[in-house]
Amino acid sequence: MQKKTVEDIDVSGKRVLVRVDFNVPMDTRGGIEDDNRIRACLPTIRSLIARRARVILCSHLGRPHGRVDEHLRLGPVARRLSELLQQPVVSLRETTGPAVEHAARGMQEGDVILLENLRFSPGEEKNDPAFSRELSGLADIFVNDAFGASHRAHASVVGVADYLPCVSGFLMEKEIEMLSGLLEDPARPFAAIMGGAKVGEKIGILEHILPTVNIVLVGGGMAATFLKGTGYGVGTSVVEEEKLELVRMIAGKAASYRVRLLLPADVVVTDTPGAGASALIVPVTQVPADRMIADIGPETITLYSEALNTCRTVVWNGPMGIFEIPQFSEGTRALASVLAGRDAMTVIGGGSTAEAVAQLGLTEKMSYVSTGGGASLQFLTGKVLPGIAVIPDK
């Protein structure tokens, strides 16, 4: 899959709308916890600046669902980008409209502006053509460098390609190349470790990844739904009730594909998942009614480590527990160090998994760290992601 890239076109003097995935983890005071997704787009942005383009960046942050959320403004991201580029980045307070058009018209060659959070506009997630037209009206060319959002058929990912010539950025190009290489002929056994948040969605992806892998290890938020679907009590853990049927079906499907679907044998439970919270290790048969699952337990760590030690390819998306809180970080830590010590193809996908691995100082020990979480998993199912489909081939 060779897509046209930003290198294949003349950008000099042009207004270039660049979709990036600056959906970075923020702390409670509005600080950026991990700026890797910003750094990952620097090659594209720098190349455009060097070639005298007028660079109009756009991204989503979090899920404000069409409304302005003061905590999800992109101002802090623009400041960090400006530090990294060592040049001003104009941070706009809107995504479209007269002020944005005025700013875009007033740009000099090599200038960079960042539009406000795209998801403040209801048209973004709906892929509303009117919104796509407004966005595309700002520019002459569309560059998609937002691999992490390429599984979303949103206006800024697919819609604008109806109105502007479209190419991929360097990050998009690299992600496609690396992940295609992995998909082509993976060394086996091939394991997927699945955890983290966005449980409902990931259970859907898990179903579609079964034909590709040999082993699936379940942890994080989705463990509770799997355990409940298997008939265990999960206390006060959040469960996707409407996915219980699917979870049972997945177990059957895994068996028919001869995939080993591993669920936790023991878990760490707590009453409240805050700092200083209680932590108790229990077998999955004995989760107290007033406690929630916050991590996988030591027996599970052993079980999962043994499974991973046989694997030659591993894709990991989503921490095993509430990694930010030390009492619930052990499962994630343990699996990260197992992978770091393996002579295997290890692919880490997604914001929080990459952040966890980076915090442990193990990024360099992994074969590849993708900026996409859901996107990289869906890519591995063999599905052509909507944001990639709209980019013409070379």
Q: Please list, in sequence order, all residues whose beta carbon lies within 8 angstroms of the beta carbon of residue 247, skipping any fewer than 6 positions away.
A: 203, 225, 226, 228, 229, 230
148 binds, among Mg ion, ligand 3PG, none (CB under 5 to 8 A by kind): ligand 3PG
Are the CB atoms for 1 and 182 separated by under 8 Å? Answer: no
Give the x/- contact pattern for ligand 3PG in 115-154, rule: CB under 6 A: ---------------------------------xx--x--
CB of 364 to ligand 3PG, least distance (A): 23
Task: Work out whether 229 is an interface residue with ligand 3PG (CB under 6 A).
Answer: no
Is it true that the peptide bond before 189 is cis, omega within 30 degrees of 0? Answer: yes
Catalytic-residue membership of 361: no
Interface with ligand 3PG (CB under 6 A), residue from 5, 23, 121, 327: 23
Q: How many CB atoms lie within 10 A of CB 80?
A: 18
63 binds, among Mg ion, ligand 3PG, none (CB under 5 to 8 A by kind): ligand 3PG
Q: How many CB atoms lie within 10 A of CB 272?
A: 12
Interface with Mg ion (CB under 5 A), residue from 351, 372, 386, 387: 351
Length of the chain in residues, anyone? 394
Residue 57: its H or E element: strand 54-58
Q: Which of 19, 37, 54, 202 is catalytic?
A: 37
The string of DSSP letters for 261-305 reads EE--SEEEEESS-STT---EEEEGGG--TT-EEEEE-HHHHHHHH
Residues 178-207 that bind ligand 3PG (CB under 6 A): 198
- What does each C-alpha distance from 327 to 17, 69, 73, 249, 270 come to in angstroms? 44, 31, 31, 33, 10
Task: Work out whether 63 is an interface residue with ligand 3PG (CB under 6 A).
Answer: yes
For Mg ion, the closer of residues 60 and 243 by Cβ is 60
Part of the chain binding Mg ion (CB under 5 A), chosen from 121-129, 179-187, 258-266, 350-358: 350-358
For Mg ion, the closer of residues 186 and 351 by Cβ is 351
Q: How many CB atoms lie within 10 A of CB 97?
A: 13
CB of 125 to ligand 3PG, least distance (A): 8
Catalytic-residue membership of 198: yes
Residue 101: its H or E element: helix 98-105
Task: Work out whether 19 is an interface residue with ligand 3PG (CB under 6 A).
Answer: no
Q: Which is nearest to 222 in space by CA: 147, 209, 212, 126? A: 209
Task: Work out whether 386 is an interface residue with Mg ion (CB under 5 A).
Answer: no
Residue sitting closest to Mg ion (CB): 351
Residue 132's φ and ψ, nearest 5 degrees, are: -60, -40
Task: Work out whether 100 is an interface residue with ligand 3PG (CB under 6 A).
Answer: no
CB of 278 to ligand 3PG, least distance (A): 30
Rg, C-alpha atoms of the chain: 22
Alpha-carbon distance of 193 to 178, in angstroms, equals 18
For ligand 3PG, the closer of residues 327 and 371 by Cβ is 371
Task: Work out whether 169 is an interface residue with Mg ion (CB under 5 A).
Answer: no
- Residues in touch with ligand 3PG (CB under 6 A): 21, 23, 63, 148-149, 152, 198, 350-351, 373-374
Catalytically active residues are 37, 198, 351, 374
